[in-house]
Structure 1
């Protein structure tokens, strides 16, 4: 029997949904399953309603489901809000001694979470471990796997804490087995673990930067990008990198520009509001032709907006940000694995073409966890694009901004012997000195833009699944991939002739490829987490083709395959 199981843990901020969710996720992954997990949380330290959702499958999964098998309710509000999502045979686990829910039909499993925590662990803080054990008891899942995960999760806090968590989890597991045997779901039999990683989008972006040789990262904390600097700061001493929390985003990007100019691979990470502050310095990157990688993790705006929710509303802003015209590349990874490799490629292109490369993430990708196989670091290739001392010695009159057929000037570093490296934020001549010569200014602008031709040749076209010959095509970018891919699979099973065209590298725009694909279909629908259909606008501008319709969602939450299918059926006629 195929496995497709969804668990949701809900409660107030501060009740430990993330701990329960992460321990459950690790336990399922350790048992050989694939999973996708996402957090939905309010911008507050205490109170409100938050939840952590986990989808477990026997094959790779990249999207959430709207239907829930097990709901762990840490408060009454969770039951009231999420009960309609419960499957026919789904169950709700709650503490009936502290949460009054009546009447109590069979699918409500009252477990004394706090009492068992005090009895077995000596403190109500172990209630979360009781809840984890109860959830696995419903599935008759191997307890020894959970015990091992708890030992790893709490090992640094001492043996007593480890044992108390294990005992509390065992109490919850046994309580379900002894009192609700008839309410158990189909047993979830673990398989042989193939040592998959459980990784978030932010962790994958961070690991990609480390693998690419990033040695300087600056940021001002801003959700949902903060996890990147905290992860890198935790690895800084071990891997010889600097993770600098700047006083603001303006300082952060200028620090990174300075580090890159001096010769180290550097990047910044922020969200839309922080990127707004970085825009002037982005122009400095363009003018001085200094390589830089920027991670822009989107959330709903404008202004502060919904700080802890997801969106895809910054695409056109990022594409046109800063005054003047200069080349840039824009990536939008679809999965955590894509995120890792996109950073590696971003650094190589940034240095080869001496341009900014912007990676567009969002809260859904940044904070979601998924399983994937370990990254093959043998495939990581680092291309610095810096001329060697031997090559530099052969150049009699080195000019940092020399005119070349490709637009790429020879890049030396200020530390290299015998040469002075000059640049300027004003328009400059080939040597890098300020100039007001309009003929030189014109040639310099053309030189910089000439790099777009080479940069365009490096861009991968959008992925088309399963083929280009369908009558209907869904179009998406970035983190919408999982929901779209699943929607297409379901629709094909229903007899709909449909395909997916999904962008992970957006700019320079692959005009010829997209034009060819759209010329073959009868209907096309752009699916985006924004209110205006920004990718649809770009497609129209670059190809002259207008999509048939748009499926847009801008409430701060990600797409599900069910939502996409429902909206498509309304629109396609």
Structure 2
């Protein structure tokens, strides 16, 4: 396995467009393909609190060494619209490239740089040729990116087959999109960029997870048997994951009518003798404080994940922060002992969730 970027032994790729264009899914699938080839990956999605429209982007950094964060610059931009090019061109390393639809006109004055390469691709044309929906332009762009760095396209195809297992028509269409994007890149831009990613062979033993998913997996590993929560970003994904795995794990996961109900149900489940957990964000945690005090009074051990948002009140719902740590330490009326743990990375999200359950159980207290 090899990773060669513009600046060193890592390659950073940004995929950008509008909400609804499958950017997060594209980034995760690309990350899985690179990881399956033996590389290390780190990815993050940036999106505003809207369902469709507005600008979203996914940044993925990969290397043959462990990666713990994205950097300040990227080597390759896969742009599904013109806005992505104009917003992120200043983040592109000198010598980097921009993949965009050939139907989009970008002037040198708009670009404002002459040290990066514009790489027009028939993204829309390929989708029309395979008679696919417009959203599959993201798959064509992934194929283009893989072709530019010389990565094994068959690894990407195997990831797509796994992701859409049982949906043969979708698999076939995405395979065609990947192959045509890849083929166009190799034919027209094989030596355009000094980027290289190679695979050391297929492996399906590794997983790529978000922090929320790692917390959920930690809860499962710790023997949690009851989970209740009201959806509130950025903690909602814990609920989604645990509900989707209910039958497999034997856990009961409930979406309640409010955060107040969620924590009271968790207190009740704990009092009845099972390991129980909830998750929320700042505003929801405010509503839970009375029930948290009840848990202290009844000595009901539980785990509460606080996914922190920036800012007061509703805050920035789709971003994260660390401003509620003291709130977690001092929340609820009355004085009582508690444990607060603060994971520093995805791996710690798993291990510290397990430890939070064990500490809560051992001392009959609440862990956040």
- For this structure pair, what is the TM-score category when the shorter chain's length is used for normalisation? over 0.9
- Give deviations 1:370-420, integer Å, cap 9, x for gaps: xxxxxxxxxxxxxxxxxxxxxxxxxxxxxxxxxxxxxxxxxxxxxxxxxxx
**Equivalences for 1:311-350 in 2 at 5 Å?**
311-350=321-360
Q: Indicate which of 203, 227, 233 corresponds to 2:243.
A: 233
Aligned to 1:514: none
TM-score in terms of structure 1 length: 0.61
Matched, 1:171 2:180: yes
Aligned to 1:29: 35
- Aligned to 2:42, the other structure's residue is in SS state strand
Matched, 1:152 2:162: yes
Indicate the larger mover: 256-265 or 238-247: 238-247
Give yes or no for contact 1:115–1:124 (8 Å, CA) kept in 2. Answer: no
| Deviation at residue 337 of structure 1 after TM alignment | 1.4
- Give deviations 1:274-333, integer Å, cap 9, x for gaps: 000001111111111110100000011211111001111101111110111100000011
| Deviation at residue 120 of structure 1 after TM alignment | 2.3
- Aligned to 1:197, the other structure's residue is in SS state coil
Number of aligned residue pairs: give it.
356
Matched, 1:45 2:45: no
Give yes or no for contact 1:140–1:184 (8 Å, CA) kept in 2. Answer: no
Matched residues in 1 for 2:191 and 2:217: separation?
45
Matched residues in 2 for 1:255 and 1:122: separation?
46
Give yes or no for contact 1:120–1:164 (8 Å, CA) kept in 2. Answer: yes
Task: Tell me which stretches of 4 or more aligned residues in structure 1 moved more than 4 Å.
Answer: none
Aligned to 1:414: none
| Deviation at residue 192 of structure 1 after TM alignment | 3.9
Give yes or no for contact 2:78–2:100 (8 Å, CA) kept in 1. Answer: yes
| Deviation at residue 100 of structure 1 after TM alignment | 2.2
Q: Which has the larger radius of gyration?
A: 1
Give ranges in structure 2 of 5+ residues lacking alignment.
none
Q: Indicate which of 244, 268, 272 corresponds to 2:254.
A: 244
Aligned to 1:215: 225
Aligned to 2:263: 253
The structure, 1 or 2, with the larger RCO (C-alpha pairs under 8 Å, 6+ apart) is: 2
Q: Indicate which of 185, 189, 193 corresponds to 2:198.
A: 189
| Deviation at residue 121 of structure 1 after TM alignment | 4.4
| Deviation at residue 196 of structure 1 after TM alignment | 2.3
- Give deviations 1:168-187, integer Å, cap 9, x for gaps: 11110111111123313333
- Aligned to 1:182, the other structure's residue is in SS state coil
Give ranges in structure 1 of 5+ residues lacking alignment.
359-573
Instruction: Quote the RMSD (CA, aligned, Å).
Output: 1.4
Aligned to 2:107: 102
TM-score in terms of structure 2 length: 0.94
Matched residues in 2 for 1:208 and 1:121: separation?
43
Give yes or no for contact 2:147–2:190 (8 Å, CA) kept in 1. Answer: no
